[in-house]
A = this chain, B = another copy of it.
Amino acid sequence: MVIIMRPGADRETIEQVIDKVSELGFTPHPIYGVINTVIAVIGDRTQEAMDTLGAMPGVDRVVPILRPYKLAGREVKPEPTVITLPTGVQIGGEAVVVIAGPCAVESREQFLATAQYVKEAGAQVLRGFIYKARTSPHDFQGLREEGLDLLREARALTGLPLIAEVLDTRDVEKVHEVVDIFQIGARNMQNYALLAEVGRSDRPVVLKRGLSATVEELLKAAEYVLVGGNQQVMLCERGIRTFETMTRNTLDLSAVPVLKHYSHLPVLVDPSHASGHDWLVPALAKAAIAAGADGLIVETHPNPAQALVDGPQSLNPQAFRELMGQLPAFARAAGRRM
């Protein structure tokens, strides 16, 4: 880290900071400037050490040097992480993968119909969400435990691996029995108890970026899963919150090359939640692949106007099929395949 002293900090104040650096077990390198003095510090950074030094008299600010994630970073593991699903499908490899399905499992008819056409159109993983995080307690909260059997049935029917969200540490075990991938949603990106719980599991995890999470915080959240021993983490950009209201969120596609640059983990993009409008999904799905994404999460519904959740952003079967037909050209342009 680099400690920047306030202009005018006197020698004694500076010496106290230098002493504290040594006391914390680091090697201080003071550089005396005309206006500001700077103390470069060699050694492993921790937030505690930064906070301690930042709280000392005369310190203007403390600038971190090392990136605050370790297991998620390219320094520890330069080669990309490739996750292999039970069907042999790989995420993070050469192929671009599509995860698709309804926002929520609503009924047997709706879910099995979707599973069917999603498979036929070429998607490799099926969304089957039975717990829904809704901003209001007065809205539909998902089929919950009642949906577990539908998930089993859809898998038996299509052979597709399933992804589902967990919202509560107490549900991890029962969801574990029926799904192939856990999703941690945007609102729970910093629910550390939940991250730790899926970190102890043997299922791959899709970790969605929080609405106001920086790329660095997303990587630090991934660290909670990795540190538990679960190395199969996929990061998912799904739009961040900005002042723009034309779209539900602002899809930050720069996050794709940035994440691929600093981390070895696969990167997915969810154009449905990002945009909030079905007619925007195709353009953003294509752009995500062009930007280097390893896969997409796309919402689709047999009849969006009947959907209990997020109908406006769900592609109908025809629109979904059309999109699936257009994506391979972009994957090829990006040097990938589908």
Assess whether B214 is in contact with A244, with CB atoms less than 8 Å apart: yes
Q: SS class of chain A's interface: helix, strand, loop or mixed? A: mixed
Q: A66 vs B255: C-alpha distance in the bound complex, in angstroms?
A: 29
For A261, the chain B residues whose CB sits under 8 A away are: 279
A positions within 8 Å CB-CB of B: 2, 4, 7-8, 20, 29, 31-36, 38, 40, 42-43, 46-48, 51-56, 63, 65-66, 68-70, 75, 133-140, 167-170, 187-188, 190-193, 196, 210-212, 214-217, 220-221, 223-224, 227, 240-247, 250-258, 261, 274-275, 278-280, 283-284, 286-292, 304-312, 314, 326, 329-330, 332-334
User: With contacts A47-B134, A190-B187 known, is A52 near B258, CB below 8 A?
Assistant: no
Smallest CB gap from A57: residue in B: B305
Let me know if A139 and B40 touch, CB within 8 A.
Answer: no
| Residues of B close to A247: CB separation below 8 A | 254, 258
In angstroms, how far is the closest chain B Cβ from the Cβ of A313? 8
Least CB separation from A211: chain B residue: B212
A221 and B286 CA atoms in complex are apart in Å by 29
9 tightest A-B contacts by CB?
Answer: A212-B212, A55-B311, A168-B193, A290-B290, A329-B333, A187-B190, A287-B291, A287-B287, A257-B283
Report the separation of the CA atoms of residues A195 and B193 in the bound assembly, to the nearest whole angstrom. Answer: 15
* CA of A329 to CA of B289, assembled, Å: 13
Residue of B nearest to A227 (CB): B137
Chain copies in the assembly?
4
A278 and B59 CA atoms in complex are apart in Å by 12
Contacts of A47 in B (CB 8 A): 134-136, 138-139
A258 touches B280 (CB 8 A): yes
Is B284 within 8 A of A69, CB to CB? no
Return 22 A-B CB contacts under 8 Å, by A number: A31-B42, A32-B42, A47-B135, A54-B312, A70-B138, A135-B190, A137-B192, A137-B220, A212-B243, A214-B244, A214-B245, A243-B243, A245-B245, A250-B254, A251-B252, A254-B284, A257-B279, A258-B280, A283-B291, A283-B292, A287-B290, A290-B330
Could you say which residues of chain B place their CB within 8 Å of the CB of A243? 212, 214, 240-243
